[in-house]
Amino acid sequence: MKITKADAWKPLYPFASHYMYLPNTGARMHFLDESKAEPGQEREPIVCVHGNPTWSFYYRELVKAFRPHHRVIVPDHIGMGLSDKPQEYNYCLRRHIDNLELLLEKLELEPFTLVVHDWGGAIGMGYAVRHPEKVKRILFLNTAAYRSPFMPGTIRLARVPLLGSLLVRGLNAFVLGAILTSTKKPLSSCIASGYKAPYNSWANRVAVLRFVQDIPMDPEHKSYETLKEIEINLPKLAAIPKTFVWGALDHVFNDKFLQHWKTIYPEAEYHRLDDVGHYVMEDASEQVFEHLRALLAR
């Protein structure tokens, strides 16, 4: 069968799709649940949480690298990736945390290693502060889970009423801009097609815009108290082994975010990668794997 340009990414993502229906909404949440381990082999879970405007495709090489000896779970948030994209839906931080909680409860996982990137930090850490007993280790990739006054001009522009809708949903500027600016090395057309694939229409970009709009910059914002609650409870996770792998060329999660993490978790292990952008998994997957293996050995 001939692979079209739009489908060029599919051989890079050779995984079975799983779905969970969310109660009270009818929306289907897509997730990967991959393991090649033989019966009796170690299958300690790894749960990877993506951000915006990515999806489980972002973690594809991590899944391939770690599924031989681990059970790797990677959900797509509602509105993202291969999950349903309802148009009338309360896209907010608390709802995304609730959805992750429902999925992990359904899977009945033993304590697992958590991997978070971008918005996945707030969502994943939102789950972790609710269930610290379920999280054995945490790997952070250019993310935040606390309030910050900093917002790049490009994101501010995407939040302007009407203009933001035109840019993000009409022109797909947020996805295309991320593809162009989030790596040191230009992405191949094949990989770029994977990042674009789920967001191929106005309707399918609804959550990309809602994530941008959900960044809480003032106390009146609907997600402000949720993020504040996560931030206040971060010290509950102080004893959990943590590793940060940080792309230094990130224009969104810059070094100020990394320095703030160091004030919260001074005991964590930190690796700042000079020639790596926001999409750490694209620029430096082997380095991520090296540090994740070391973390798993702790």
What is the third-level CATH fold of 5-296? Rossmann fold (3.40.50)
Q: If we measure between CA atoms, which residue out of 134, 121, 68, 112 comes closest to residue 265?
A: 121
Q: Which two tokens stand for residue 228?
A: 């504040």
Q: What mean pLDDT comes out for the span 233-249? A: 98
Report the distance separating Cα 52 and Cα 273, nearest Å: 21
Confidence label for 37 from pLDDT (cuts 50, 70 and 90): confident
Q: What is the pLDDT of residues 141-157, one digit of tens each?
A: 999 999 999 998 889 99
H/E stretch holding 175 reads helix 173-181
Q: Is the pTM of this model over 0.85?
A: yes
Mean predicted lDDT score pLDDT of the chain = 96
Show me where the domains of the chain are located. Answer: 5-296
Instruction: With beta carbons less than 8 A apart as the criterion, state whether 126 and 234 touch.
Output: no
Q: What does the pLDDT read at residue 2?
A: 45
Tens digit of pLDDT for each residue in 59-68? 999 999 999 9
For the stretch 185-203, pLDDT in tens is 999 999 999 999 999 999 9
